[in-house]
Amino acid sequence: MRSAQILGIAFVSSIAFAPLAEAKSVSFSGYQWEVRGGQGGPGPNTWDDRNAWVDANGYLHLKIAWRNGRWTAAEVYMPQQRLGFGTYQFKVIGRPDLFDDNVVLGLFNYTRPDVGPDATNEIDIEFAKWGGSQPQMGNWAVYPAVTGIPYSHQAYPISLGGTYSTHRFQWSSSQVFFQALHGHQDGNVNQMASWLFNPPDSVQRVPQNPLPVHMNFWLFQGRAPKNGQEAEVVIAEFKFTPAP
């Protein structure tokens, strides 16, 4: 689902094949991010590396764009680095509360094959109405550390008074604490919503291993926006603070 191209040259019987295109990467908030291209889930969507870039202010832009007769999405992720327990904070510029019913913004960490299969080891901040099937745009989710256990989800309404908001989760071995706040901040002023997920069987229900961070902007089930409009969101800052 989060595939990447790798630069390589193959030689067979002294015949050199053309190298694969080098994957695009961007530097943002002190980390190196690979920009996804190609086809695949979630959605499925068409991922276009032209839909993610960093501007002169150092802000990351993610776009859903109509290109070459099809809708295309954006995703960036850490190709090598994995972050563990601590606070993951995203400062957003835009109006996720006003997204089209089919538009999804995901800010999350995600499993790797050596940690567990898909639908495990994932912690999500998402903004989506899932095609209009739920009234709330805000979504938090924790996928278990092991298979055979359903994921846990909390939806909440958001209504912004401006274009700046801060979203974070604090992850430890026993719990995940989510917050959504008005404005750009490192504190706890003007909180919109919060959720503490602290199950008694946390070793099974809370991911326990370091994971790479992803940010994606995509279309639910690959459906076109109901309003027929392209969409763009800006991430002003990603900040990770390791747990003490």
Residue 11 lies in a domain: no
Q: What is the pTM of this model?
A: 0.91
Residue 223 lies in a domain: yes
Length of the chain: 244
Strand bridging mode 45-47 / 70-77: parallel
Question: Tokens 């109509």 identify what position?
Answer: 66
Per-residue pLDDT of the chain (244 residues; tens, 9 = 90+): 333 322 222 323 333 333 445 789 999 999 999 999 999 999 999 999 999 999 999 999 999 999 999 999 999 999 999 999 999 999 999 999 999 999 999 999 999 999 999 999 999 999 999 999 999 999 999 999 999 999 999 999 999 999 999 999 999 999 999 999 999 999 999 999 999 999 999 999 999 999 999 999 999 999 999 999 999 999 999 999 999 9
Do residues 67 and 94 touch, judged by C-beta distance below 8 A? no
Domain count, the chain: 1
Question: Tokens 């980390």 identify what position?
Answer: 31
Residue 10 lies in a domain: no
Q: Which pLDDT score is estimated for 141?
A: 98
Residue 15 lies in a domain: no
Do residues 47 and 36 touch, judged by C-beta distance below 8 A? yes
Q: Which pLDDT score is estimated for 22?
A: 73
Domain region containing 58:
24-242
Closest CA to 133 of 223, 45, 70: 223
Rg (CA), the chain: 18
Residue 233 lies in a domain: yes
Residue 7 lies in a domain: no
The CATH number of whichever domain residue 212 belongs to comes to: 2.60.120.200
C-alpha span between 91 and 58 (Å, rounded): 12
